[in-house]
Amino acid sequence: MGHRPKVSPAIFIATILCFLFPFITVSCGGQKVATFSGVQLATGTSVSQPQMFGPTQKKDVAPEPLAAIAALCTIVGLALSFLPAKVALGPAISGGVGALFLLLLKSKMDDQIVKQGQGMLQVNYEAGFTLTLVLLVAGAAWNGYLFFSQQAGDVAPSLPITARPPGQPASPTVSPPASAAVCPHCGAPMREVSKFCASCGKPLQ
């Protein structure tokens, strides 16, 4: 599992960077009202609201807990990505939970902005939101795959190299027949009973 130390942290680092990009854009009648990045949604920000009469006013936007939890899951997933593959379930869960909270954030924003704007406001989700969601799902899937692959490797039966059926010798050996005779002088095989060695000519006793 040597690919994990490179791939998994890279996924979560890219996810953190995506929080810096625009997440949502609020518009009214086709005119852009405000754009929020993932960091602004998680930590809170302020927006300028034009007034019909008088100067532009700034309005504070409170931090959105769902966005903050998704960002926290991304950071936790990055930290856990540097641990061995046996505990890859940690970043897998972090990625999955982060993606879930992003989907909950989308549902909440759709409902909240429509109610506040009485149907006049629309919310559009930018590339930052989409990429963050995709990367969190990818981080969960990749680390889940590593975890279950590791588990399968741990429980797979392993047979020793020297294992053999009962009664079978450890390694086949070729030995000369017990009845074969050799010359005591030169060691040449004697195929026939003779008084003299056919190889060296010495007498046999």
Average pLDDT in the 98-125 region? Answer: 86
Whether residue 103 is contained in a domain is answered as yes
Q: How many domains does the chain have?
A: 1
Pairing of strands 45-49, 57-61: antiparallel
77 and 98 Cβ atoms separated by less than 8 Å:
yes
Whether residue 78 is contained in a domain is answered as yes
Give the pLDDT confidence score for residue 1 in this predicted structure. 43
Whether residue 32 is contained in a domain is answered as yes
What domain range includes position 13? 4-154
Q: What is the CATH number of the domain that holds 77?
A: 1.20.140.150
Whether the pLDDT of residue 178 is over 50: the answer is no
Whether the pLDDT of residue 50 is over 80: the answer is no
Whether residue 171 is contained in a domain is answered as no
Give the pLDDT confidence score for residue 3 in this predicted structure. 46
Whether residue 148 is contained in a domain is answered as yes
Whether residue 183 is contained in a domain is answered as no
Whether residue 43 is contained in a domain is answered as yes
Whether the pLDDT of residue 108 is over 80: the answer is yes
Whether residue 36 is contained in a domain is answered as yes
Mean pLDDT of the chain: 80
